[in-house]
Structure 1
Amino acid sequence: MSVSLEFTWLRGALLCLLMLIAHSATAEVYTYIDADGNRVFTDQPHKNAKKVPIAPSNEIRSTPKKPVQASSTKPKPGPLFHYSLLRILAPEPDSAIRDIQGNLIVTVTNEPELQPRHTYRLLLDNKVYAEGGRSPVFPMTNIDRGTHQLSIEIVDEFGRVAERTPNQPFHMMRTSLAQKRLAQPCKTDDYGIRPECPLKDKPPEESSILPFF
């Protein structure tokens, strides 16, 4: 048998063997020499055939992991925390606030200090004016003239009211420009400076030069 013929035979035999292995990982393979002196591989038993030992497949089959689902359970609220003191520092009860634009500053204090994830909520006339803040200072703007009620709440992370002050009255005295001008008449240097003294109302200045006759 020539070298080229032997190489062709070995390659064909190897291809046959690989095809048989791929066909069935559990099938048995046999080999024998046929009448023409050629080696034959087959998966069928044959007279004088020998069983070819096949190494077990090294294919690794991994079990797919189940996706980890996020826990849908929410933390349950614990006992409600209470403060020993909560009150409005400014304005004081029954204060008269005089401001043309109706502005004022509300400040609060509490003991102990504000707990983590607790916030203040400011109420004006029993309606929420500002919420969600941790600052004890609340600027208020354009409050209508008249008597109003202030109250402060401390709310925990679950929306529960931990503490609330009683309603505290104050009186907004929004003096009109005309009233301010009447109480303090405008002077020459006040025009264009004081809101109640616009330049258009500034009287013409008298000339100090005597007319020539």
Structure 2
Amino acid sequence: MANSAYHVKFRDRLQASSGSAVMMLITVFAMSLLTQVTAQAAVYKWIDKQGRVHYSDTPREDASVVTPAANTENRIALPQQAQRESLSPAITATQYQLTITTPEPEATIRNNKGDFTVQVAITPSPPTSTRFQLLLDNKLLLPPQRSPLFQLRNVDRGAHQIQVQSLLPDGRILANSASHTVFLHRAIHRPPKKPQPRQ
């Protein structure tokens, strides 16, 4: 019985010492990691014999730890996405009406050079950064511009579909006009036929 009691007590001490050793190893490992992270994050400054100042992330005996000032820390600017989202509620709450005022629907335009003007009106007043782009026959004809007035040059004769879109700076469509059909007439100059000699 005495031997059994001795073995039980020895086993308990061994388990306790083993548990303590494991905890100690974990603590030492965690402290070493913390020390490495702190050393990597720190910046050290020292002055050499010539009076030159040096900075490094490697600790030295004659170096002092530099603490950056609050105003020198990196600051993250808000991305354009955040600014875009801040504008979204106001934009979605407003219904913009874009209307082609010139030419009228089904208008017949007579111009031998194929030139004509397209003008639009938008209500209510849009943001100052709004751009306008014109689609001719469902194709983008001109790059976006600030002016709601478009000068079209040398357009082929025949029927055409015109539509105007208003855009935000990030490319989102603010409003679409209705599509208008216009008919462009260009006179065709045919030189008179030369008389054919009689045979």
Corresponding residue of 1:137? 149
Gaps spanning 5+ residues in structure 1: where?
A: 1-21, 23-58, 182-213
8 A Cα contact 2:105 2:180, kept in partner: yes
- Residue identity in the other structure for 1:101: K
Residue 118 of structure 1 pairs with residue 122 of structure 2: no
Percentage identity across aligned positions? 27
State the Cα distance separating 1:99 from its structure 2 match. 1.1
- Residue identity in the other structure for 1:144: D
Gaps spanning 5+ residues in structure 2: where?
A: 1-48, 50-62, 193-199
Corresponding residue of 2:105? 93
The 1:83/1:120 distance shift into structure 2, 3 A limit, reads farther
Corresponding residue of 2:115? 103
The higher relative CO (CA closer than 8 Å, separation ≥ 6) is in 2
State the Cα distance separating 1:83 from its structure 2 match. 3.8
- Residue identity in the other structure for 2:79: T
Partners of 2:77 and 2:96 in 1: CA distance: 36
Partners of 1:84 and 1:73 in 2: CA distance: 27
State the Cα distance separating 1:152 from its structure 2 match. 1.0
The partner residue of 1:63 within 63, 67, 78 is 67
State the Cα distance separating 1:124 from its structure 2 match. 0.7
Count of aligned positions: 123
TM-score (norm 1): 0.50
Task: Compare the two structures and name the one with the higher helix fraction.
Answer: 2
Q: CA RMSD in A?
A: 2.8
The partner residue of 1:176 within 179, 185, 188 is 188
Which one has a bigger Cα radius of gyration? 1
State the Cα distance separating 1:114 from its structure 2 match. 2.6
State the Cα distance separating 1:132 from its structure 2 match. 2.2
Partners of 1:91 and 1:97 in 2: CA distance: 8
State the Cα distance separating 1:84 from its structure 2 match. 4.2
Which one is further off, 162-171 or 81-90?
A: 81-90
8 A Cα contact 1:122 1:129, kept in partner: yes
Partners of 1:113 and 1:72 in 2: CA distance: 28
Corresponding residue of 1:43? none
